[in-house]
Amino acid sequence: MTSQTRMAIKMLFYVLSLLSTVSGIIEECENIRLLYNNLQHRNRLEYMKNNFPINYTIRVHRNEVLRVSKVKRLMERDNATELDLQNLWLFTSNNIVKKIQDVLPKKHPSRNYTIDLLDILDIEVAVLPGGIAGDIISRLRSPEKRGKLISVKPKALLDNCFKVMHLLFSATCILS
Ligand SMILES: *[C@@H]1O[C@H](CO)[C@@H](O)[C@H](O)[C@H]1NC(C)=O
Ligand SMILES: *[C@@H]1O[C@H](CO)[C@@H](O)[C@H](O)[C@H]1NC(C)=O
Ligand SMILES: *[C@@H]1O[C@H](CO)[C@@H](O)[C@H](O)[C@H]1NC(C)=O
């Protein structure tokens, strides 16, 4: 094989791997947009508020809720990358939606909504983030590090997921 041929083959592999990365992002963005539409206010209101008793709350651990203020701190102070934070969001949202689903009886009118959300979150959560975002997930895996229990309304939990999603994905996936 001449060095020119080797170079050509190398270039080809480079282009192919670049293409697969790009198509990975495009596929992921399709799922992200689907999730984003599913999390629109109308749905959060109907499935997470109107279908529940008044002032109903769910017990979650404080650190299981990923808030905008925390994400901003991780970006600005800890230099966490957007990709790591996106994966952290997928992980924490998956966990929160499962907690909501856990309190719903099989025939509850909001159950299918949580199933639809988890259908997408379950595939996307495969990549675990590195850096400080990865450390946060490791901590969430040990029960004693999840923080104290707090009572939060289900809609407030998803309102929070939606706000953080908007912060982290609008640039990458052009959410509107
Ligand atoms: C729901 O919570 C609000 C605010 O804390 C309170 O004013 C209201 O009385 C509660 N409603 C019921 C039915 O418990
Ligand atoms: C984050 O980046 C800034 C600027 O590059 C640097 O001064 C700071 O030490 C970094 N912080 C951490 C926690 O790595
Ligand atoms: C949930 O989805 C299943 C399967 O698509 C359907 O049979 C069922 O009627 C739905 N339940 C509600 C409450 O919408």
* pLDDT tens, residue by residue, 120-158: 998 877 777 889 999 999 999 888 888 899 999 999 999
Average pLDDT over residues 93-114: 97
Residue 149 forms beta bridges with which residues? 61
Counting other chains too, the contacts that 5-9 makes at CB distance below 8 Å and 24 or more residues apart are none
C-beta of 79 in contact with ligand 2 (< 6 A): yes
Least confident of 6-10, 94-98, 123-127: 6-10
> 118 - beta bridge partners?
none
Its pTM stands at 0.84
Map out the domains of the chain as residue ranges.
27-173
If you measure from the C-alpha of residue 54 to the centroid of ligand 1, how many angstroms do you get, rounded to a whole number?
7
- Of 15-29, 79-93, 150-164, the poorest mean pLDDT is in 15-29
What pLDDT shows up at residue 176? 74
As a whole number of angstroms, the distance between CA 81 and CA 109 comes to: 38
Please list, in sequence order, all residues whose beta carbon lies within 8 angstroms of the beta carbon of residue 84, skipping any fewer than 6 positions away.
Answer: 129, 130, 131, 132, 133, 134
Distance from C-alpha of 6 to C-alpha of 62, rounded to nearest angstrom: 55
Classified by CATH at the fold level, domain 27-173 comes out as: Growth Hormone; Chain: A; (1.20.1250)
Rounded mean pLDDT of the chain? 89
- Per-residue model confidence (pLDDT) at position 24: 58
Given pLDDT bands bounded at 50, 70 and 90, which one contains residue 21? low
Q: What is the pLDDT of residue 124?
A: 75
Residues lining ligand 3, judged by CB closer than 6 Å? Answer: 109, 112
Residue 1 DSSP symbol: -
